[in-house]
């Protein structure tokens, strides 16, 4: 039997590299999947690339509770319920020092990266409870485990969601809803291209080489590496795991 047979999943940031790879993995393992993303053009492209009768999409904003509720309602109406919610939407913000950082930009990073998962939990918990439990996964970062110069607001947001995750895990345990975080090191995605260019304008390839050399396994992760860990935490293979932080970082935090 496939590992997610009969399961229904929502993936925010579904049009990004990690979201797309996770959706593909979930579909292979039998899940019905709703992609949730702000970028209509990219989410339609992802939907068409994945080509599955068990896939649909919703264009919405994770910082709006109404949109999170709408995504849950669509999953319930289309597929009968909700078992898995991957709070994966995130933005990197700007590459600037704290004194240079625009305050409105700081608010935007916190809204997407922290308020988004909070609102996802608020919308998803009742639906999962009605199904007898579920798995809620938050994409954090290794920037949520240590300080990161020139990415202060991003690092702040990724630390914050770990606190949210641990609190939700204890709140939701009696409902059999498991809550965990995944903390990747650099992964081959659009976000890292932006960060590389921001750290070293005109020298993105050099910046990538420097960052990769600091990873003990000597490379960036691939979206598929993260998707496989998402699958484990979404499936019943991790039925006794909640409140945990999963570094997937090539040994960076060893």
Active site residues: 154
Q: Which residues make Cβ contacts (< 8 Å) with residue 132, sequence separation at least 6? A: 176
Q: What is d(CA 81, CA 112) in angstroms, rounded to the nearest whole number? A: 25
Task: Name the 3-class secondary structure at 88.
Answer: coil
Q: What is d(CA 200, CA 21) in angstroms, rounded to the nearest whole number? A: 28
Instruction: Judge contact between 111 and 88, C-beta under 8 A.
Output: no
Would you list the DSSP string of 104-119? HHHHHHHIIIIIHHHH
Would you list the DSSP string of 119-177? HHHHHHHHHHHHTT-EEEEEE--GGGTS--TTBHHHHHHHHHHHHHHHHHHHHHGGGTE
Taking alpha carbons only, the member of 206, 208, 172, 176 closest to residue 192 is: 208
DSSP state, residue 237: G
Q: What angle do CA 131, 132, 138 make, to 5 degrees?
A: 85
């Amino acid at each position: 039997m496939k590992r997610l047979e009969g399961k229904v999943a929502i993936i925010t940031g579904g049009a990004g590299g990690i979201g797309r790879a996770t959706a593909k993995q979930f579909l292979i393992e039998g899940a019905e999947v709703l992609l949730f993303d702000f970028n209509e053009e990219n989410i339609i492209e992802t939907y068409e690339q994945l080509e599955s009768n068990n896939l649909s999409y919703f264009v919405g904003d994770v910082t709006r509770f109404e949109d999170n509720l709408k995504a849950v309602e669509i999953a319930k109406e289309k597929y009968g319920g909700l078992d898995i919610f991957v709070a994966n939407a995130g933005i990197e913000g700007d590459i600037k020092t704290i004194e240079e950082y625009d305050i409105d930009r700081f608010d935007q990073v916190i809204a997407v990266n922290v308020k988004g998962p909070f609102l996802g939990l608020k919308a998803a918990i009742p639906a999962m409870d009605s199904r007898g439990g579920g798995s809620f996964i938050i994409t954090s970062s290794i920037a949520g485990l240590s300080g990161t110069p020139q990415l202060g607001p991003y690092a702040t947001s990724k630390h914050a969601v770990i606190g949210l995750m641990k609190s939700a895990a204890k709140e939701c345990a009696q409902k059999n809803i498991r809550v965990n975080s995944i903390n990747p090191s650099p992964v081959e995605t659009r976000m890292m291209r932006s960060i590389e260019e921001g750290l070293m304008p005109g020298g993105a390839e050099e910046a990538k080489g420097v960052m990769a050399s600091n990873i003990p396994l000597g490379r960036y992760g691939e979206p598929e590496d993260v998707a496989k860990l998402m699958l484990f935490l979404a499936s019943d293979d991790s039925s006794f795991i909640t409140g945990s932080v999963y570094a997937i970082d090539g040994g960076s935090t060893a």
